[in-house]
Amino acid sequence: MKKKNDRLNQAIRVFFSRGIIVKISFAIIVLLILVAIFAPVLTQYTETEQHLNDKLAKPSKTYLLGTDNLGRDLLTRLLYGARISLEASVLSSLIAACVGIMFGLVAGYYSGWIGSVIMRLTDAQLSMPPLVLCMVLAALLGGGVVGVCIVIGITIMPGYIRMIYGQVLALRENDFIVASKLVGQSSWKILLFHLLPNCFPTIIVMFTMNLGTAIMLESSLSFLGIGIKAPTPAWGSMVSEGYNYLVMRPYLSIIPGLCVMLVVIAFNIVGDAVRDAIDPRLRGKL
Amino acid sequence: MSERLLEVKHLRTSFFTYSGEVKAVNDVSFHVDKGEIVAIVGESGCGKSVTQMSIMQLVQTPPGKIVGGEVWFEGHDLLKLSQKEMRKIRGSQIAMIFQEPMTSLNPVYTIGSQITEVIRTHTKCTRKEAWQKGVEALETVGIPEPALRMKNYPFEMSGGMRQRVLIAVAVACKSKLIIADEPTTALDVTTQAQVMELLLKIVKEQVKSLIIVTHNLGLVTRYADRIYVMYAGRIFESGTTKEIITNPKHPYTKGLLLSVPKLDGNKEDELIPIEGAPPSLANLSNHCAFAPRCPYKTGKCDEAPIPELRLVGADDHCVACHLLSNEE
Amino acid sequence: MENADKILIVKNLKMQFPVKRTGIGEKRKYLKAVDDFSIEVERGKTFGLVGESGCGKTTAGKCILRIFRPTEGSILYNGRDISTASERELRDIRREIQLIFQDPYGSLDPRQSVRSILREAIVSDNQPHKSAEINERISELLSLVELPEEMSDRYPHEMSGGQRQRLGIARALACNPKLIVCDEPVSALDVSIQAQIINLFKKLQKKLNLTYIFIAHDLAVVKHIADVIAVMYLGSIVEMMTADELFQNPIHPYTKALLSAVPITDYYAEQGRNRIILEGEVPSPVNMPSGCPFHPRCAYATERCRTEKPHLAKCFDGHFVACHVMKPDGAEK
């Protein structure tokens, strides 16, 4: 519909008008995505290829960022690590969103004992430190990318449940919900077609911000050795592997660490800007 | 000849937005004499509230800006005063009462502390003296057990009571002019009557002037001495209440009076609405803003420039309409 | 009146809401929103319900719509008692009783276009519908409420207040209703638009033989659309009569005060009017006064008024009053 395109254009316009930092952050994320997709093309090495003669080599023409303690090219591992980070964060955020939104909708619409049970369980989960929770779940579920994603997904989930629950509680009282009931609309259709769409702005913002949180958690888990298992390159594990060589080859830990930091900040800034862009109050008309 | 208290001359206020310049107030002139009740009547979006905010220099800048005109009050042009000087005037010389009494009072402070704060801002007195003045003011506005009420919080009072508190503030500060912006719209009919009678009493007893901004034509028939009818940022008609209500000349005023349901009407009576809707203030044409909806429109109305207010009848009855003013 | 076809008969409706206890050991307090509410609505006519905020008129309307389940009393719709029916039992008549909301914006999903809002109303009767049929019906509804066809792709925030209200009416009509409860449908609209919508209501009533329960606080508006009017105060009906009688012969002191408080645009009439200004405020419905709910503010209150609540009693044909003191011709007993 023409009207929907207008709204999208308006949102994009507002998004990019927020200043240079937003533009830089957006560029970083685009770069991340491109790097993740084109990693094999950008480097001649594979991420697990070991050059044992060139262990801990300094940056040179052959190895642009040097090699690690097993002779693996740092740049290559960095690029493939981007892929892992992106995969892990998107997958875990999706898991968190889908399950969390579902619980939030049900808890908010059918208050009473179902709602209470869900919210109390959520509260219980939130009272545990996220990293500790992750560690317990990782121990139970084992490693592997999918396992890690499920673990992180479950850890991030309560944020969605709480948020959607609150939104639904407020939206539920609106006249248009009453109107739908009066024309005979069934409850699940009201949930799906009225309540859920009106939560979209919040969901989009939460999702964007959670991508940053997910990368943080994944890096932390990998750093501790319970996340993505070797030899798959993950920025977090690269930081921990480079720890022993911090004095002579500091960049082995610092560069992957910087990457994590930049990407997380970028996601947070973009998440903020997306929220501002989607806010209907900024839609031009006075 | 009554003393002139407030004179607004060619006031213009615009809001500069993404969609362009919104001319909320587009050359408005009116005056208020001492002891008078003047009504500014119009529907939502006609600019009547922005006019009052402009007088008080309370327009949000940006995006708003007072782009022209003069507001003469007691020998000063208010628009030329600094914010500091305006603060001396606001509350003490000119008091404002708004539509939503809940948001006009700070919910976390008691009524007493809010009244004494205003009194002490404008007059030199101790807290005890200010408290006493507050109690007296509450009594004047007919609030029972005023000393107890001073300790109440706004949420403990009803809408009508809160409006009375705001009137009490105006009384306590001995302001010369009260601007009431839709003071009774959020109130029940019987409470509305109470509040309006109170305002009337205060105005007559203490010789204050009152500007009442409203869309309720019945209200102005009962209480106002003179009426200004606003539409799309301009004044279309002005005159005494008697003239405007019994002898309306502008097609818009006529249309309004015909479309308002009457108490003595019944189901068979056909209400005659004004077709169409008010124009967007962002897209004003250079011709009469009412022309698209006017049942008496001629070709001239679509081409001629915006009509000026001209004298057409008894007691300063003025109309801005090509078909009625004495022009060629 | 007795033989006329009554689409709705409400008897002794009572609706109360529990209020949070302020201390342990205190008795549970209830907010009596509606008490002893009985009306009879004739098919094809408009029943007006007026009163100020807190009088219970909206709650009564919502009970009739079964948005609330009444505490006590019976609601006979076409002879069938729906006051205690479950949602499933109500399903077959749900669509016959519709609601027009006060706030035209809040009653429309901001994320749905006009077309989508109307489509939902049309297909929610759980019958199969062909796409062409739905589109035809949408066009029909838009023309009934005098909205141009081009509107169908607009969103609520792109429409004016009057247009939104027309859409709300179209949605209600999509269900082929027999009875429509109109909850202050014009109070949020501009004066010049109010007249348009009131005329539309009347036109639709004639065309589709609709019955309205018209809730409002604006007496003049109700006068122009209602056949019978009931005046409510603190949950009870204090007077019920035809619309003409309201103006010509009000009996209850509250009705008289209400009428006198409404300013009219008739200069000479206003000058000569006797203004009755009520003392005091409307008490909270949680702490209802004993006896007649109006007695604390009534100039004519007697000892009996303080102790005994008056019931609605007939004083003329079609004119009922709940008052111990007033005689039919308005003078005291």
Residue of B nearest to A285 (CA): B19
Residue C200 confidence (pLDDT): 94
User: Strand pairing partners for C17?
Assistant: C31
Chain A CB contacts of B282 below 8 Å: 286
Residue in B with minimal Cα distance to C254: B190
A247 in C contact zone (CB under 8 Å): no
Residue A286 binned pLDDT confidence (cut-offs 50, 70, 90):
very low
Contacts of B17 in chain A (CB under 8 A): 284-286
- The pTM of the full predicted model, rounded to 2 decimals, is 0.82
CA distance C48 to chain A (A): 22
C268 touches chain B (CB under 8 A): yes
φ and ψ at residue A180, rounded to 5 degrees: -65, -40
Distance between CA C319 and CA A153 in Å, rounded? 68
Please compute the mean of the pLDDT values over residues A247-276 and round it to a whole number.
86
CA B245, CA C212: separation in Å to the nearest integer?
Answer: 33
DSSP string, chain A: -HHHHHHHHHHHHHHHTT-HHHHHHHHHHHHHHHHHHHHHHH-SS-TT---GGGTTPPS-SSSTT-B-TT--BHHHHHHHHHHHHHHHHHHHHHHHHHHHHHHHHHHHHSTTHHHHHHHHHHHHHHTS-HHHHHHHHHHHH--SHHHHHHHHHHHHHHHHHHHHHHHHHHHHTSHHHHHHHHTT--HHHHIIIIIHHHHHHHHHHHHHHHHHHHHHHHHHHHHHTSSSPTTS--HHHHHHHGGGGTTT-THHHHHHHHHHHHHHHHHHHHHHHHHHHH-GGGSS--
Which pLDDT score, from 0 to 100, does residue B161 have?
Answer: 86
Residues 136-195 of A with CB under 8 A from C: 174-176, 178-185, 193-194
- Smallest Cβ distance to C224: which of B215, B269, B278? B269
Question: What is the nearest CA distance from A150 to chain C, expressed in angstroms?
Answer: 32
Cβ–Cβ under 8 Å, residues B211 and B179 = yes
**Mean pLDDT for chain A overall:** 84
- Which positions of chain B have pLDDT values less than 50? 1, 326-328
pLDDT at B121: 82
B229: distance to nearest CA of chain C, Å?
Answer: 14
> To which residue do tokens 């007195």 refer?
B125
| Residues 253-312 in B contacting C (C-alpha not used; CB under 8 Å) | 255-257, 259-267, 269-275, 277-278
A285 contacts chain B (CB < 8 A):
yes
Q: For residues B268 and B255, what is the distance between their CA atoms, to the nearest angstrom?
A: 19
Amino acid A47: pLDDT: 72
Give the integer Cα–Cα distance in Å for C207 and B188.
34
Q: From the list B15, B18, B63, which residue is nearest A284 (CB)?
A: B18
CATH 3.40.50.12500 for domain C6-96+177-321: no
CATH numbers and ranges of domains, chain A:
27-47+65-280 (1.10.3720.10)
DSSP string, A176-212: HHHHHHHTT--HHHHIIIIIHHHHHHHHHHHHHHHHH
Q: CB of C91 within 8 Å of any CB in chain A? A: yes
Q: What pLDDT does residue C23 have?
A: 67
Percent of chain B residues topping a pLDDT of 70: 98
3 state SS of B111: helix
What interhelical angle do B159-172 and B111-122 show, nearest 10?
20
Q: What is the pLDDT of residues A14-40, one digit of tens each?
A: 777 778 888 899 999 898 888 888 888
Question: For residues B216 and B182, what is the distance between their CA atoms, to the nearest angstrom?
Answer: 9
CB contact residues (below 8 A), chain C span 151-170, against chain B: 160, 162
In whole angstroms, give the CA distance from residue A149 to residue A90.
Answer: 9
Phi first, then psi, for residue B162 (nearest 5°) are: -65, -40
Quick: pLDDT tens for B259-317. 888 877 777 878 888 888 888 888 888 888 888 889 888 888 888 888 888 888 888 89
B241 touches chain C (CB under 8 A): yes
> Is B215 within 8 Å of chain C by CB?
yes
Instruction: Inform me whether the C-beta atom of residue C199 falls under 8 Å from chain A C-beta atoms.
Output: no
Spans of chain C below 70 pLDDT: 1-4, 21-23, 25-26, 327-333
pLDDT digits (tens, 9 = 90+) for A219-234: 888 888 888 877 788 8
Q: Is the pLDDT of residue A71 over 90?
A: no
Q: What is the pLDDT of residue B325?
A: 59
Largest CA distance in chain A: 77
Question: Shortest CB distance from A184 goes to which of C67, C124, C171?
Answer: C124
pLDDT, tens digit (0-9, with 9 covering 90-100), for B76-97: 899 988 888 888 888 778 988 8
Residue to test with chain A: of C95, C111, C151, C165, most A Cβ within 10 A: C111
ipTM: 0.82
Closest CA to B170 of B179, B161, B159: B179
A-B Cβ pairs (cutoff 8 Å, strict): 13
CB contact under 8 A, C174 and A183: yes
